[in-house]
Amino acid sequence: MKPIQVGLLGIGTVGSGTFNVLRRNQEEIRRRAGRGIEIHSVFARSIERARKVVGDDVKVVTDANEIISNPEIDIVIELIGGYEIAKTLVMQAIAAGKHVVTANKALLAVHGTEIFAAAREKGVMVAFEAAVAGGIPIIKALREGLTANRIEWIAGIINGTTNFILSEMRAKGLDFAVVLKEAQRLGYAEADPTFDIEGVDAAHKVAIVSAIAFGVPVQFEKAYVEGITKLQAADISYAEQLGYRLKLLGITRRRDTGIELRVHPTLVPSKRLIANVEGAMNAVLVHADAVGTSLYYGKGAGSEPTASAVVADLVDVTRLHTADPHHRVPHLAFQHDSLATTPILPIEEVVTSFYLRLQVADQAGVLARITGILAEKGISIDALLQRPQDADEGQSKTDVIIMTHETVEGRMNEAIALMQALPTVLAPIVRIRKEELN
Amino acid sequence: MKPIQVGLLGIGTVGSGTFNVLRRNQEEIRRRAGRGIEIHSVFARSIERARKVVGDDVKVVTDANEIISNPEIDIVIELIGGYEIAKTLVMQAIAAGKHVVTANKALLAVHGTEIFAAAREKGVMVAFEAAVAGGIPIIKALREGLTANRIEWIAGIINGTTNFILSEMRAKGLDFAVVLKEAQRLGYAEADPTFDIEGVDAAHKVAIVSAIAFGVPVQFEKAYVEGITKLQAADISYAEQLGYRLKLLGITRRRDTGIELRVHPTLVPSKRLIANVEGAMNAVLVHADAVGTSLYYGKGAGSEPTASAVVADLVDVTRLHTADPHHRVPHLAFQHDSLATTPILPIEEVVTSFYLRLQVADQAGVLARITGILAEKGISIDALLQRPQDADEGQSKTDVIIMTHETVEGRMNEAIALMQALPTVLAPIVRIRKEELN
């Protein structure tokens, strides 16, 4: 049988990885897919730069239309990134009846509903394993491996840059700004790291994962997003003493009243496997009713790890595009006419536990006031740590660290406002959410 | 569309779990599969016992033929276990054109080649996610998620009973026999635990995994199998001091000369995630050329975790049985006409590093002799620990612990024979294989 023909849009980091993996493992891939998979042509802005990757044997075009409108091409891979051009090209490819493989989480998080609807209309597949957690086949696990289950929650380290930064902050006791510079120097953070460090990239991914887990539309715009830029080394150290590690987690959880969808720094018990995922590695923890807790760990970014997911999608399309489109694996795991309208909960209605650090005047009655406010708001205390007075400062102040049990965030906001107003609370209260993940 | 009809052979632990999960999550499963999935009838030896699980609404039969020959039934689930009856029924179901889902690793490890050939002939699917690592979708990850890769090696904790026993031995400093009794009392080990503790169950599973990873036939009969019954608490403790944990691993690795396929107690660096998988949990570590190292963790046994995999297979069949059978996901990940004849290496040709414990006379020159033998065989030493003399015994003897670098096992056998023959070596040498897994 004639090899399946692929058009590649974009030949940057992931595009090059895809090209190289397909070429290096072509024989192994053919043995698995039952057909060869060939790059028919590559769209690049610079022919010269593309030639450096693909050599002289592959057609390089500077007009993406030559790929999208080419009847010889079966599958289009979109690796351009961003929202604008990528969206236009993906929609055109679908309209032309091509199957699409993309690694573009931003695109799917924002325009997923429209793209999947168009694909359904044309009976083509849109595959996007590479969009979440790079080389870890987490989309496949959720969409196909755990279909028996009512999924309860998912918590993932799904941004390698921030996990690298947090790992370094802990290992070296350094503050955020210092480590960010190091990460940029080492290539773990981009020159403009905003999307990573502010949690936006993780929010794109968790919005996709949430849809697949709970059978709802992708709703990035409703996610609560908080990055790691304000974190201090002191809190990482205090948490460590209490048996917790700090991770930037993407979390989505089913509640009776709706779905939680949030990205924020989170304290996790040090003994959990996910707390021990270090450096730029990713891991996704899934809790579901039949299987219990399972974890998926691996490289979440990089040229070949991401290419691994892109090429796996190519093989999937090659193997499965002949299946009845009405029953074939749905893009978002659930049949499009079975999506639920379960609301995404605002952050004030999220239920979680908290780490609080209060800098207080070291005088009688302060602790009674603080614990009194928490009690009044019905928030119970799990652990309390009072630091010895800070002698260097020559002032009478100290750090009080409080770990609470679970509470509704709105209630914690009220408690924090009351505590912050106390004259004996001398600095802005630090608040970090905490999850037991068991 | 009319629900897909399933015949269930066996209503024991996993059968009950399957029935309960399908019923409890039927709505969620229908939303994913695009069709209902219904248990049409159940084969059981005791109607009364089956009724206790399935109630009065489902047909229960005591003749499996009523299921296999029923034209209304689309998929047969085999959960009887064992080789004989299970094989006959699976072959008959295939002959009758039914798709088959099974959790029976023993059956596939021994008769897989024949079963898959028959299924291919009839164009039906045989799905077996539940056969390896219970609820962890590791078959799917290897067969579909990592298809871009040349897989290099796989190392898995794929037997919960032995991992529970080893975890307890370490935590409590107890020897094997004591912990086995406790495991039996708690239900983590069966009354006849031979298949688990001797490594046979893990070998069934790793033989299946090896075939899927490397595109070779399932070759359980060529696996090297060593259980945990002879392990002593002392070695767990010594290894711990050197930064290693003891796990029963199923390992399969590609070498230039062939494929390693082995199950044995293995020391793993304590800092690896897989070293921290405790109790009855399973985890599989995969190393592949594009994606690097990835890990899959979860419950490897039990009623509903295993049912999670069985039902996922039902959904897969429901979604994908209409795909062209010649390109549909192959049973063993590789197209049947593309299987390789790469030989399975005998254990003497396996390359690994070793932990050795020698009880030696505490006199001058002993260590020189031992290290001299290792040097002579070209085996280099990574770490050496000499214990202080054991005063209680009132004798002049001591433990020497040696960690080696990698070597061919046959050469280590020669070295051990030479060391064992020394008059100053006072007891049988303890040898445990060690893997860095990085």
Distance CA A27, CA B341 (A): 15
Q: How far apart are CA A432 and CA B224, in angstroms?
A: 50
Task: Give the contacts of A333 (CB within 8 A, at least 6 positions apart).
Answer: A142, A143, A144, A147, A211, A212, A213, A215, B32
Given an 8 Å threshold on Cβ–Cβ distance, is B137 in contact with A144? yes
What is residue A343's predicted lDDT score, i.e. its pLDDT?
A: 98
* Three-state DSSP state, A4: strand
Q: How far away is chain B from the Cα of A303, in angstroms, using its nearest Cα?
A: 9
Q: Cβ contacts (< 8 Å) between A289 and chain B: which residues?
A: 24-25, 304
Question: Per-residue confidence at A390, pLDDT binned at 50, 70, 90?
Answer: low
Fold exhibited by the domain A138-299: Dihydrodipicolinate Reductase; domain 2 (3.30.360)
Using CB atoms, pick whichever of A21, A149, A320 lies closest to residue B290: A21
Nearest CA in chain B to A314: B148
What integer best gives the mean pLDDT of chain B?
A: 96
* Cβ–Cβ < 8 Å for B260, B284: no
Q: Any idea what DSSP says for residue A278?
A: -
For residue B144, which residues of chain A lie inside 8 Å, CB to CB? 137, 140, 144, 312, 315-316
Say what the pLDDT of residue A152 is. 98
For residues B165-175, average pLDDT: 96
* Whole-angstrom Cα Rg for chain B: 24
Interface test with B, best of A19, A146, A278, A310 (most B CBs within 10 A): A146
Q: How far apart are CA B269 and CA B240, in angstroms?
A: 9
The residues of A annotated with a catalytic role in the active site are 205
Whether residues B320 and A322 touch (CB distance < 8 A) is answered with no
* H or E element that contains A173: none
* Cβ-nearest to B294 among A136, A144, A293: A136
Q: Tell me whether residues B297 and A299 touch, CB distance under 8 A.
A: no
B140/A145 touch (CB, cutoff 8 Å), yes or no: yes
Tell me the chain B residues in contact with residue A137 when contact means C-beta distances shorter than 8 Å.
140-141, 144-146
Q: Which two tokens stand for residue A394?
A: 């020559």
Chain A's closest residue to B328, CA to CA, is A319
Task: Tell me the CATH number of domain B349-434, given options 3.20.20.190, 3.40.640.10, 3.30.70.260, 3.40.220.10.
Answer: 3.30.70.260
Which residues of chain B does A296 touch, with a Cβ-Cβ cutoff of 8 Å?
294-297
Between the alpha carbon of residue B126 and those of residues A304, B38, B198, B428, the distances in Å are 32, 18, 28, 47
First to last CA, chain B: 49
Across B87-124, b (16+ Cβ under 10 Å) vs e yields bebbbbbbebebbbbbbbbbbbbbbbbebbebbbeeeb
Contact status, residue B302 vs residue B127, Cβ threshold 8 Å: no
What is residue A387's predicted lDDT score, i.e. its pLDDT? 76
Residue B48: count of CB within 10 angstroms of its CB: 8
Burial environment of residue B384 by CB neighbours within 10 A (0 to 12, 13 to 18, 19 or more): middle
CB count within 10 Å of CB B245 equals 22
Which residue bears the tokens 């890990």? B295
Do A215 and B33 count as a contact with CB atoms less than 8 A apart? no
**How many Å lie between the alpha carbon of A327 and the closest alpha carbon of chain B?**
5
Q: Give the angle A284-A208-A100 at the CA atoms, nearest 5°.
A: 110
Of the pLDDT bands very low, low, confident and very high (cuts 50, 70, 90), residue B390 is: low
Helices (H) and strands (E) in chain A, counts: 15, 17
Provide the shortest C-alpha distance from residue B189 to chain A (in Å). Answer: 20
pLDDT 10s digits, A244-302: 999 999 999 999 999 999 999 999 999 999 999 999 999 999 999 999 999 999 999 99
Taking CA–CA distances from B147, the nearest residue in chain A reads A312
Q: What is the pLDDT of residues B401-426, one digit of tens each?
A: 999 999 999 999 999 999 999 999 99
DSSP A344: B
Report the binding-site residues of B.
9-16, 105, 190
Q: What percent of chain B has pLDDT over 90?
A: 94
pLDDT for the residue numbered A389: 64
Average pLDDT over residues A414-429: 97
What does the pLDDT read at residue B1? 83
Select from B28, B310, B328 the Cβ nearest to the Cβ of A150. B28
Please give, one letter per residue, the 3-state secondary structure of chain B.
Answer: CCCEEEEEECCCHHHHHHHHHHHHCHHHHHHHHCCCEEEEEEECCCHHHHHHHHCCCCEEECCCHHHHCCCCCCEEEECCCCCHHHHHHHHHHHHCCCEEEECCHHHHHHHHHHHHHHHHHHCCCEECHHHCCCCCCHHHHHHHHCCCCCEEEEEEECCHHHHHHHHHHHHHCCCHHHHHHHHHHHCCCCCCCHHHHCCHHHHHHHHHHHHHHHCCCCCHHHCEECCCCCCCHHHHHHHHHCCEEEEEEEEEEECCCCEEEEEEEEEEECCCHHHHCCCCEEEEEEEECCCEEEEEEEECCCHHHHHHHHHHHHHHHHHHCCCCCCCCCCCCCCCHHHCCCCCECCHHHCEEEEEEEEEEECCCCHHHHHHHHHHHCCCCEEEEEECCCCCCCCCCEEEEEEEECCEEHHHHHHHHHHHHCCCCECCCCEEEEECCCC
A226-to-A198, A199, A355, B62, B77 alpha-carbon distances in Å = 6, 6, 16, 59, 47
For residues A94 and A117, the answer to whether their CB atoms sit within 8 Å is: no
Q: Structurally, what CATH architecture does the domain formed by A351-434 represent?
A: 2-Layer Sandwich (3.30)
What pLDDT does residue A393 have? 56
Q: Is A298 exposed, middle or buried, given 0-12, 13-18 or 19+ CB atoms closer than 10 A?
A: buried
Residue A140 predicted with pLDDT over 90 = yes
Tell me how far apart the alpha carbons of residues B4 and B36 are, in angstroms, rounded to a whole number. 6
Token pair belonging to A34: 């039952």
- What's the rounded mean pLDDT across residues A429-435? 98
Structure tokens at A324: 């009845």
Q: What is the pLDDT of residue A363?
A: 87
Q: What confidence score (pLDDT) does residue B395 get?
A: 66
Q: Which residue of A has its CA nearest to B326?
A: A34
Identity of residue B359: Q
Cβ pair A290:B135 closer than 8 A? yes
B247, burial (CB in 10 Å: exposed 0-12, middle 13-18, buried 19+): buried
The residue count for chain A? 438
Q: Which two tokens stand for residue A90?
A: 């993906």
Q: How far is B142 from chain A (nearest CA, A)?
A: 9
pLDDT at B432: 98
A35: helix, strand or coil: coil
- Whole-angstrom Cα distance, residue A334 to residue A342? 14
pLDDT surpassing 70 at residue B394: no
What mean pLDDT is predicted for residues B323-330? 89
**Is A308 in Cβ contact with B329 (below 8 Å)?**
no
**Residue range A4-137+304-338, CATH number:** 3.40.50.720
Contacts of B290 in chain A (CB under 8 A): 17, 21, 25, 135, 304-305, 307-308, 311
Kindly provide the ipTM of the predicted complex, given to two decimals: 0.96
Contact B31 A292 (CB under 8 A): no
Give the distance from residue B147's alpha carbon to the nearest chain A alpha carbon, in angstroms.
5
Q: Which residues of A are annotated as a binding site?
A: 9-16, 105, 190
| B289 with A22: Cβ contact below 8 A | no
Predicted local distance difference test score (pLDDT) of residue B396: 85
Please enumerate in sequence order all residues whose Cβ is within 8 A of that of A393, keeping only pairs 6 or more positions apart, or say none: none
Domain ranges, ordered by start, for chain A: 4-137+304-338, 138-299, 351-434
Percent of chain A with pLDDT over 90: 94
In percent, the amount of chain A with pLDDT more than 70 equals 98
Judged by CB atoms closer than 8 Å, whether chains meet at B323 and A322 is answered as yes
Binding-site residue positions of A for NADP(+): 9-16
Residue B424 confidence (pLDDT): 96
pLDDT tens readout for residues B47-92: 999 999 999 989 999 999 999 999 999 999 999 999 999 999 999 9
Pairing of strands B4-9, B75-78: parallel
Q: A312 contacts in B (CB within 8 Å)?
A: 144-148
Residue in A295, A315, A323 nearest the CB of B298: A295
Q: Is the pLDDT of residue B232 over 70?
A: yes
Annotated binding site of B for NADPH: 105
How does residue A327 score in pLDDT terms, banded at 50, 70 and 90? confident
Q: Return d(Cα B161, Cα B180) in angstroms, integer.
A: 9
**Cβ-Cβ contacts under 8 Å for B170 (sequence gap 6 or more):** B236, B240, B245, B246
Residue-averaged pLDDT of chain A: 96
**Which residue among B21, B28, B276 sits closest to A276, beta carbon to beta carbon?**
B276
Task: Determine the Cα angle at A406 with ends A403 and A408, to 5°.
Answer: 120
* B4-136+304-337: CATH topology: Rossmann fold (3.40.50)
Residue showing tokens 């990885």: A17
Three-state secondary structure call for residue A216: coil
C-alpha to C-alpha distances, A396 to A104, A232, A235, A237, nearest whole angstrom: 53, 22, 20, 22
Q: Inspect the interface and report whether the beta carbons of A30 and B338 lie closer than 8 Å.
A: yes
How many C-alpha atoms does B24 have within 13 Å on its Cβ side?
A: 18
Radius of gyration for the alpha carbons in chain A, expressed in angstroms and rounded: 24
- Report the distance separating Cα B31 and Cα A217, nearest Å: 14
- CB-neighbour burial class of residue A423 (10 A; exposed 0-12, middle 13-18, buried 19+): exposed
Q: Do A215 and B289 touch (CB under 8 A)?
A: no
Contacts of A322 in chain B (CB under 8 A): 322-324, 327
A-B contacts at Cβ under 8 angstroms: 240
Token pair, residue A316, equals 């999937």
**Tens digits of per-residue pLDDT, B96-135?**
999 999 999 999 999 999 999 999 999 999 999 999 999 9
User: What's residue A34's pLDDT?
Assistant: 92
Query: How would residue B221 be classed by pLDDT, with cut points 50, 70 and 90?
Result: very high
Q: In this model, does residue A42 exceed pLDDT 80?
A: yes
What percent of chain B clears pLDDT 70, i.e. is strictly above it? 98
Give which of A214, A209, A215, A207 is closest to A337, Cα–Cα.
Answer: A215
From B21, B327, B330, residue closest to A35, measured CB to CB:
B327
Residue given tokens 């002032």 in the structure block: A395
Please report the pLDDT score of residue A395 as a whole number: 66
